[in-house]
Amino acid sequence: MKILVTGGAGFIGSHVVEAYIAAGHEVCVVDDLSTGFRRNVPKEARLYEIDIRSERLDEVFAREKPQVVNHQAAKANVRESFEKPLLYAEVNVLGSVNVLECCRKHGVRKVIYASTGGAVYGEPQFLPVTEEHPINPVDPYGASKHHVEHYLWIYRSSFGIDFTILRYPNVFGPRQDPFGEAGVVAIFAGKMLNKAQPTINGTGEQERDFMYVGDIARASVLALDRAGGEILNLASGIPTSVNRIFQDLNEITGFGGAAIYGPAKSGEVYRIFLRADRAAEKLGWKPEVNLREGLRRTVDYFQAQQQA
């Protein structure tokens, strides 16, 4: 199968590309390399350095004629989205509509869309959060990601382009940026391996549903021929505090330092974890890598990068 992955040079997207190639599919990648890296793209995949808002995107679709599009490309920093809400609307909404228009013009049969379970629901009214939970995002990032879900319904009903929406939890693993704002696992691991002190924002009792990136990529493979017209949470269903992440990484890295706390960051949901029964039913998917093993694999990756 011919698959085009937007954002395929990024953290999650590159793992999706690898999973598709391992499953025997032909893959091309569209990425503007604003946060992704050329080195993340496997040699078996063709890379087009293009912004998803660009008119040149149509040329890629015309040349590659993909059957399926896996749409990972997005601006994805909650705090930055408050500072640059117009940019988030432009990239995440208008860029996605540009992708969908190319799908319509060039006969794409299905779009697999990376949405967010951590940001579209807002402050939970009940836990664990199911797909039926009200949508009340509390940041422009979550709003922009959810907006595209409506367009996917429109393009399915009007133009026959199928979709599967995957709402991600807090994803971590190799290639996550240890120097950015997002990704507490990568930030803590990067600092600890360099014998630098991480700071826990707030009390550290904030809870999230953390999941290893390999399990996320596997869901994208399963969604190629399953779960048409479905919105699916991907989740472990297990809430984990930031304090727990610190403690585990402290042991795995051998850092050995005490936790230091700073001011809480505004604009973030305090406690959320998801229920993924529907993904199990519709995709036959369940997470396979537990938190501790995922953290160990992540630390091993960063250690190898330091030694390279």
Q: Please name each of the domains of the chain with its CATH number.
A: 2-172+211-237+274-289 (3.40.50.720), 184-206+239-272+292-307 (3.90.25.10)
Query: How many residues are present in the chain?
Result: 308
Rounded to the nearest 5 degrees, what angle is found at the Cα of 40, between the Cα atoms of 143 and 119? Answer: 15
- Euclidean distance between CA atoms 307 and 293, whole angstroms: 21
Q: What is the mean pLDDT of the chain?
A: 96
Query: What is the pLDDT, as a whole number, of residue 242?
Result: 97
Q: What is the mean pLDDT of residues 2-17?
A: 98
DSSP string, 63-126: HH--SEEEE------HHHHHH-HHHHIIIIIIHHHHHHHHHHHTT--EEEEEEETTTSS-S-SS
Q: For residue range 202-246, what is the model confidence (pLDDT) as tens digits?
A: 999 999 999 999 999 999 999 999 999 999 999 999 999 999 999
- Amino acid code (one letter) for 123: E
Q: What is the mean pLDDT of residues 180-194?
A: 87
Taking 60 as the threshold, does the pLDDT of residue 181 lie above it?
no
- Give, in order, the Cα–Cα distances in Å from 7 to each of 17, 28, 35, 87: 10, 11, 9, 17
Q: Are 252 and 193 in contact (CB under 8 A)?
A: no
Q: If you count DSSP H runs as helices and E runs as strands, how many of each does the chain have, helices first?
A: 11, 13
Q: For residue range 268-277, what is the model confidence (pLDDT) as tens digits?
A: 788 999 999 9
Nearest-Å Rg of the Cα atoms of the chain is: 19
Query: What is the pLDDT, as a whole number, of residue 187?
Result: 94
Residue 71's DSSP bridge partners are 6, 113
Stated pTM of the model: 0.96
Write out the catalytic residue numbers: 141
Q: For residue range 103-160, what is the model confidence (pLDDT) as tens digits?
A: 999 999 999 999 999 999 999 999 999 999 999 999 999 999 999 999 999 999 999 9
Phi, psi of 273 (to 5 degrees): -145, 155
- Sequence-distant (≥ 6) Cβ neighbours of residue 217 within 8 angstroms: 12, 15, 16, 18, 19
Q: For residue range 256-293, what is the model confidence (pLDDT) as tens digits?
A: 999 999 998 877 788 999 999 999 999 999 999 999 99
Give the SS3 label for residue 178.
Answer: coil
